[in-house]
Amino acid sequence: MTTSASIVGRSVHGLTYAVLGWAVAYGGVRLAWTVGEAPEFGRLGLDLLGFTGWWSVALCVAAGGLAVALDRVATWRPALAGLAWAVAGALVAAAAILLPELVGLLLFTVGPFFDPLAFASRLGCVTGAALLALATARYQRRTRGDCSDCCRTVPPGVRRSAPARWARWAAWAAVGGLVTRFAAQFVVGFDRVDQSAALYGLEIGLVLAGVLLPLALVHHWGEVWPGWVPLLAGRTIPRPLLLVPGFGLGAGIVAYFGMGIVQVSSGSHSEFSDAFLWVAMSAYLVMGVGLVIGSTDYHLRTRRQCGTCGR
């Protein structure tokens, strides 16, 4: 049995050093911009949303402190894990504009508001969120499980082959969110919505992510290539092929449109009615949450069996 003394005495995990290094580097930049003069960040005039100035510095300090706590605490503390996830989520939300920017880069069009320094800042912010999330996940695995190798708690020999009911509901909720979003756009009128190349690409990607991806996460053809796929039919689909866009796009959508709802709630002005914005952004939010939930079930269902406990 691991004691508190042995935990304190052992070496620090590499993830902890990574989060601390990020907190010092990125936090130092945020501090310099807060006490000094921050760049203008192009036409948009900002790099982060919501968490700017001292709030951004506080997030970096919190991330570093939490990384140390997650590494040192030997028992499962839900409040500690919850706080760490909240800080990681706040970092993602602060860099929410990164989602449409990445889509623009994939389409070789960055738009008139793109600023390289602001983009680098958002990318740095999300990097910290990813490192803290990995450290938190490691803490959960280390303290919640009863297998010394995989840290899983499911009874021996129990492995689900079929998606959970809640995952299926989440997947169809994601599809419903996308349908609701385009229904709202149809009511407003497609000609009233500015369709830039980046936005066209974003919407095409959202159609794929809001229909094909969530359904693949909860159906067998999301694990094995269907027969109509040339050269790959019958082969196992690599898990990252669904998990990376599932978690990444899902979290990005939640962050981007979640911050959008906050802005609408604060009274920000737009060319569209508040009713349209509330419906459209809420629908996207449901879609993003559905993707994250579906991806979670897919991960738990398809992960490799542990050689120690057989789970």
What pLDDT does residue 209 have?
78
- Crossing angle of helices 98-106 and 116-144, rounded to 10°: 110
pLDDT per residue as tens digits for the range 122-157:
999 999 999 999 999 889 888 887 665 566 665 555
* Residue at token pair 């620090």: 12
What pLDDT does residue 77 have?
92
- Crossing angle of helices 54-72 and 14-35, rounded to 10°: 160
What is the DSSP-derived secondary structure letter of residue 235?
S
* Sequence-distant (≥ 6) Cβ neighbours of residue 115 within 8 angstroms: 41, 42, 43, 44, 47
What pLDDT does residue 141 have?
84
* Residue at token pair 């095409």: 204
| SS3 of residue 204 by DSSP | helix
What pLDDT does residue 252 have?
87
What pLDDT does residue 230 have?
85
Judge contact between 217 and 168, C-beta under 8 A.
Answer: no
pLDDT per residue as tens digits for the range 41-69:
877 788 898 888 899 999 999 999 999 99
d(CA 142, CA 136): 10
d(CA 106, CA 96): 17
At position 308, the amino acid (one-letter code) is: T
Show the low-confidence residues of the chain (pLDDT under 50).
1-10
d(CA 56, CA 141): 29
What pLDDT does residue 199 have?
60
